[in-house]
Amino acid sequence: MIGAAALGIGLVITAMPELGMLAVGAVAAAVVAGIFGGDAVVQVVSFVVVSTALIAVVRPIANRHRAQRPQLATGIDALKGKQAVVLERVDASGGRIKLAGEVWSARSLDTDRAFEPGQEVDVVDIEGATAIVM
């Protein structure tokens, strides 16, 4: 149990989930010793088996979840792909649009294209405080 506590403290300090899995293995070894009266070899084997099984099963699942993009887009990512209304002429040098209820500076993605007030445009990207539209 002392080993499990030490690994648990290490988990909190370093935020390494593997230490938590090793701590569970140490608890399993303590349970084997307490309930079944296992000697040191049985405790070590139970520690190794439980810890290895947890790392082999939980770690790939955690990596898969970490690699996924969040389902809900927030901030400027939520604005990309939205439609906006041109308030002041938008061309390659600039202009103004109304996007998500706010007035944004904007510029045209295509340098040869200009959008007149009242036209709807699609937001392709956000660079700083400027929306890139087409």
**Residue where a domain terminates, one of 33, 68, 103:** 68
Residues 45 and 81 reside in one and the same domain: no
Structural domain of residue 85, as residue ranges? 77-133
Q: Alpha-carbon distance 92 to 107, whole Å?
A: 5
Determine the average pLDDT of the residues in 76-91: 93
Residues 126 and 99 reside in one and the same domain: yes
The pLDDT, as a whole number, for residue 63 is 85
Residues 1 and 63 reside in one and the same domain: yes
The letter for the amino acid at 28 is A
Residues 3 and 41 reside in one and the same domain: yes
The pLDDT, as a whole number, for residue 103 is 95
* Domain count along the chain: 2
Residues 36 and 87 reside in one and the same domain: no
**Residue where a domain terminates, one of 68, 90, 117:** 68
Residues 4 and 63 reside in one and the same domain: yes
Q: Alpha-carbon distance 58 to 120, whole Å?
A: 48
Asked if the model's pLDDT at residue 105 lies above 90, the reply is yes
The pLDDT, as a whole number, for residue 77 is 85
The pTM score is 0.50
Residues 89 and 59 reside in one and the same domain: no
Residues 57 and 4 reside in one and the same domain: yes
Model confidence pLDDT, tens digit, residues 26-81? 999 999 999 888 788 999 999 999 999 999 999 888 888 888 877 787 888 889 99
Residues 7 and 61 reside in one and the same domain: yes
Residues 64 and 81 reside in one and the same domain: no
Asked if the model's pLDDT at residue 20 lies above 80, the reply is yes
Q: Do the bridges between strand 120-127 and strand 130-133 make them parallel or antiparallel, or are there none, so unpaired?
A: antiparallel
CATH number for the domain spanning 123: value is 2.40.50.140
* Averaged confidence pLDDT in the chain: 90
SS3 of 75-124: CHHHHCCCEEEEEEEEECCEEEEEECCEEEEEEECCCCCCECCCCEEEEE
Contacts of 79 (CB under 8 A, 6+ apart): 99, 100, 123, 126, 131
The letter for the amino acid at 82 is K
